[in-house]
Structure formats: structure tokens, C-alpha cells
Amino acid sequence: MMRLARLALIMASTLTLASTALAQQEMTVEEITNQISTLESDFENFSGTVNQLQQEERELRDKLQNLRERNNELEQKRESTLAEMNDRYQRLVEDPTIDIAGAQEAYKQAVMAHQQNKEDIKQQVSLVNQKSKEVEEARVSKHSLINEIETLKEQRNIARIDRLEDEFNRTGDLEVSQSISCDRNETLGQCENRGKLMAKQKASKQYLDEILASLSESSLVSENLEKASPNVQILGSKTISNGFSGAGNYGVKLAVELRGQLPQSQACTLLGVDMRYCAAEQRPGNIETAQEDTVDSSVMHPLTIRSNVYDDEVIIDGVSYGSTPIEVMLPGGEHEVEILKYGYSAYAEKIRLKDAMSIRAELEKSEYSFTRGEKIQDILYRDVRGPELVVVPAGKFKMGDLAGNGLPNERPAETREIPSALGITDTEITVKHFRNFVEDTAYVTDAEKQGTCAILKNGRPEFNEKLSWKNPGYKQSDNSPVVCVSYNDAKAYADWLTTKSGFKYSVPTEAEWEYAARAGTETDFWWGNDVGFGKANCRNCGSDWSNQRPAPVASFHRNPWGLFDTVGNVWEWAQTDNGVVVKGGAWNFTPSLARVSTKMELPADFNSNYIGFRVVRAQ
């Protein structure tokens, strides 16, 4: 009974707390959370009490089962003592000297024990029934307590929504300064109006950011922000100072009064709770309007714009806002949005802004053909540009040993065709180019992973685990050709250019490389069959870098199609049908190996401080 009393006390206290929570609609989120924590703690204690009652019930039932089993034993003993006493009575008739007192006493004790066990069973059944009732009552009470806890959680979600609305839909003041350059085609009045509008946009964005940062559940709201459309209303503005400079610039400082506006339905979205908490009934002060088509131009809405290209230009209502991705605050109403990039078809759309809005523009490449000698340089991201390429035309050429000075793998010569014009880097890929790739992707080269950058020592390659593209064993600059890179590394770089630019880049095939290096000639070098003196960087070729290290790219003359360093400097990776090769010779190899048709077959993961690469791009 003491345990029941404690149980009753727990139930009374928890139900009182829950009832109080439901009655107090103005409790804060923190207060409700504390109530829930208290009830959950009591629930844990309560669960222990229920478990203990169930254990006691099991013990009582086990004892009842033992008593029933004992009852059978006592019944058998009573019957056996009765039979013994009857037997002695029969024998007493024939023999009066027989003593029956012992048999009578044994029977008496058996009957008394049997009757007592029946009483014990009756009492034990009563105890079991009583305990079962306690357990059942406890289970019902436990379920009731769970319901009270869940009801409080419902109340907490409503309180969270109320709190978010109170925190968001507040009024505040900001001072902002804005300076713009007046366009030649706009009047001073138009320039002034544009400057004030941009100041209001800045104030709206700043105020929205401040509200979001100050919210009690700012981290959660930030995760769900893209799914909702909170906005800011400009209640009024006052010019503190403004004026034009002699250079045609206009500056303005505004004091702006603003109010955050969060539709109640979007409070649920931002908090990640079920929409039923927001869709029930419209509460007093709810800012949602019954007329969906009504647009308030004093309300500033966020507009997010993204596109599938880099280094584009976003123009809204004739004003340039820079490159995507961007997010701006614009007044409700109609706006004209344009997204431009050279070489792509323009994106243009007239939008009606009445809520937060996102635009994902897909710009398509314009139809145009490469022109021989045209220079190309793609924008990769932010202010990072890809390597400069020069266009080589489509055509046929004779590939292989044409002068009779070649190695067996250069024969027989054959006619090959390059079916389409392509862009090829006019120099070998430089250290700076490769660093941009590594910094953007955290790429690790084969040499860095395996410690296998090779150097040429006494005419034989020797691996040096300390060398890599960052430190090839000699002094280099940003404009040096990158080395200690394998074909695998070169391909990874080309794939990265493809991803960043949206155009297809690759390591050149052997035919593409030799076609571009020959530049329409049929001699061992693009200037003739003799290497000459000081025309390229190879062993004993008469340059300042010969047999010392690679020269900075573009240190020698271009070939007729605009390519540098197709002779000497560093070997360059190329693809074949059967694997990969290197072409063009290097600073520490003899001139005879710098001929246009020379090639060395190597494994794709081989790398050394005398092998680099260039890339090609399809139009």
C-alpha cells in the first residue's frame, strides 16, 4: 500500500504539472521545455515503479502456483491417512487391542493442513487480483502521462512558432550609405533614384541578416531558409545626406525604418515542424493576405539567381549586379532579369515578385565555329581563368617519321585526319595553372602519394621521394611548366577544366599533338630538319637552360600555328589507342629525341621532373 501511495503521489504531481502547462497558453518555449523535462524525469521514475509492480505480481502468481501444486500433495496425503484410519477401524472389529489413535491423529493433521492450504490459496488469489489491478491502473496512468508529455510537446511547437513570429516580425532602424556611378544615358534624377533604391536594398538585406542571426533557433532556420520566403517591409526612409561628385558619382546616406515579415505558414517550414501547427486558424496579427495577387511595393523580397556558367553578368531592371550566384532584396512588383555571357545565348525573363523567389538559368552555348589562330581562355570560377588556348584548324597530315631519322615506333608514316578544329594550350600547363587546380580540389598527385618522381641521373631514371610538382629538384616559378605529374594527374586536371568551364577538355591524342606541333610542316622540327642553335631548350641546344632545367614557358618563338615549346623544354603526355606516350623531348634529352614524331611509351602513373603536358578543348 505504501508503494501505491507513492505511485498516486507521482501521478498527482505530474498530471498537475501537465494540466498547468495546458492551461497557461502564455508560457514561453523554455518554460514548456522545463515542464517536459520534469515530466520525462518523473516518467522514468514512474516506469521503474510500474516495472516493480509487475515484478511483484509475477512473484505473487508464482507463489499461488506453488500453493496449488502443494494442494494436490496435501489432498493425496489426506486421502492416504483416511485410508489408513479406515483400515485400522476394520481390523479393530476383529482385534480390539489394535491402537487407532495414531491413525486418527495423522488423518486429523492431514485434514487441517489441507484446509489451511485452501485458505492460503484463497488469500493468495485475493493478493494476485489486487496486485493485477494495481498494475493495470499503473499502465493506464503511464499511458496518460505519455499523452500529457506529448500534449506539452504540441504546445511547445505552437510556442516556438509564436516566438519565431515575434522575433521576426519586429521593427527596427538602420543607417546605410550607398555610392554609385551614374550611367551616361540616365538623368541626374534617375541616378539619384537608383542610388536610393540600392541603399534601400542594402538596408533590407542587412536587416534581414540581422534578424536571422538574432533568432533563438537561428541555426535551424538557416538550414531551412531556402525552403521559405521571409521578407522585409520598408516602413519609411529619410535622407541624412546625399550629393553628386564631379566625377559623376552619386552618394547617399539613408535612415531606413524596416519591419520583418514572416508568413505564419512559413514559420513551420523554417522550424521544420508539421504544417498543421500553422494551417489551423489564422491568428491575430497574421500578416498573410487573403488576396494572393496583391503585391506591396514597400515589401522587399529576396531574389536568388544562379546559372550553369561562370563569370556571367546579371542585369535587373537595367542595373548590373555582378556574376551569379547572387541574392538581392527587391521591392514587390515586376522586374526584368537578364543573364549574359559571351558565347552563350542570353537569358531574359520578366518576373512578378511577391514572395522570396529563386531563378536557375540554363544558358546554352551559341552556335559558332573556331577560327584558325583564335585565342580562347575560359573563366573557371570567380577571377580564376583557365589556360590560354589557340585554335588549330581541321585537316589531314602525314604522321610519323617523314625524314628517315626516326625510331622504329615512328614507322610507317601514315595519313591521319583531324576532323574538327580544336583549341590547344599554346604553352605547356604551368605551375600556376596546376596550383589553381590543386587549391580548388585538394588533389594529390601520384608522385606525392607514391614518392616516385624520377630524375635522370647518369642517363638512367632514379626515383626521389622528396620531389613533387611543388619542388622538382631545381628552381622554378609560376611560369615554369609543371612537372612530376603523371598522365593520370594530367587527365584529372583536364577533367577539372571540363567541370569548371562547361567545355570538354582532355589530354591531346598523339595525332592531335603531332598535328598541332607540325603546324603544316613535314620536317623533323617546325623550322627544318636541323635543331639549330638557341631555338629550343634541349641538351646542348645552346640555350641558357639547356641541360639545367626547363625554361619558363614561351621563352622561344611560336610555331606557325601559335604554339610555344613543341620542341624540347619538357616531354608532354599524349594518348594513343594502346596507352600513353610522351612527345617533344626535354631540357636534358638530346635534340634527336625532340623531333616532332619521336615518342616514348610509358606507364600512365610514371612521372618525372622532365615530363609535363598541355591540354586540348573541343569547340
User: Is the pLDDT score of 147 beyond 80?
Assistant: no
- Amino acid identity at 163: R
Angle at 457 between CA 588 and CA 597, to 5 degrees: 35
Cell numbers for 84: 489408513
Q: How far apart are CA 596 and CA 401, in angstroms?
A: 9
User: Is the pLDDT score of 468 beyond 80?
Assistant: yes
How does residue 404 score in pLDDT terms, banded at 50, 70 and 90?
confident
Predicted confidence at residue 322, as pLDDT, reads 81
How does residue 392 score in pLDDT terms, banded at 50, 70 and 90?
very high
Choose among 518, 487, 498: nearest CA to 618: 498
Higher pLDDT, 203 or 435: 435
Cell numbers for 165: 513570429
The enclosing H or E element of 465 equals none
Residue-wise pLDDT tens digits, 178-194: 888 887 667 888 888 88
Q: How far apart are CA 66 and CA 352, in angstroms?
A: 83
User: Is the pLDDT score of 287 beyond 80?
Assistant: no
How does residue 486 score in pLDDT terms, banded at 50, 70 and 90?
very high
Predicted confidence at residue 23, as pLDDT, reads 47
Residue-wise pLDDT tens digits, 38-85: 888 877 777 787 788 889 889 988 998 998 898 898 989 889 988 888
Cell numbers for 413: 608514316
Q: Specify the length of the chain in residues.
A: 619
Alpha-carbon distances of 129 from 2, 53, 122, rounded to whole Å:
17, 12, 11
Residue-wise pLDDT tens digits, 265-286: 888 999 998 887 886 443 434 4
Cell numbers for 20: 498547468
Q: How far apart are CA 287 and CA 259, in angstroms?
A: 12
Angle at 434 between CA 430 and CA 439, to 5 degrees: 145
Highest mean pLDDT among 88-97, 160-169, 384-393, 506-515: 506-515
Collapsed DSSP state (helix, strand, coil) of residue 276: helix
Helices 29-94 + 2-23 axis angle, to 10: 160
Q: How far apart are CA 613 and CA 405, in angstroms?
A: 25
Q: Are 169 and 287 in contact (CB under 8 A)?
A: yes
Percent of the chain past pLDDT 90, that is, above it, reads 43
Q: Are 211 and 168 in contact (CB under 8 A)?
A: yes
Which DSSP state fits 408? G
The enclosing H or E element of 292 equals none
User: Is the pLDDT score of 512 beyond 60?
Assistant: yes
Higher pLDDT, 286 or 459: 459
Alpha-carbon distances of 517 from 1, 489, 512, 591, 594, rounded to whole Å:
101, 22, 8, 16, 11
Worst-scoring range by mean pLDDT, 168-177, 317-326, 382-391, 557-566?
A: 317-326
Domains of the chain, CATH where assigned: 2-166 (1.10.287), 169-278 (no CATH), 302-367 (2.60.40.1120), 375-618 (3.90.1580.10)
Which DSSP state fits 394? -
Q: Are 294 and 191 in contact (CB under 8 A)?
A: no
Name the average pLDDT for the chain: 85
Predicted confidence at residue 230, as pLDDT, reads 83
Predicted confidence at residue 362, as pLDDT, reads 87
User: Is the pLDDT score of 12 beyond 90?
Assistant: no
What is the largest distance, in Å, between two alpha-carbon atoms of the chain? 154
User: Is the pLDDT score of 18 beyond 70?
Assistant: no
How does residue 21 score in pLDDT terms, banded at 50, 70 and 90?
very low
For residue 67, report the phi and psi dihedrals to the nearest 5 degrees.
Answer: -65, -40
Collapsed DSSP state (helix, strand, coil) of residue 154: helix
Predicted confidence at residue 426, as pLDDT, reads 95
Pairing of the two strands 611-612 and 571-575: parallel
- Cβ count within 10 A of residue 23: 8
Residue-wise pLDDT tens digits, 572-582: 999 999 999 99
The DSSP code sequence of 515-562 is HHHHTT--SSBTTBSS--SSSSBSTTSSSTTTTT-PPPTT-S---TTS
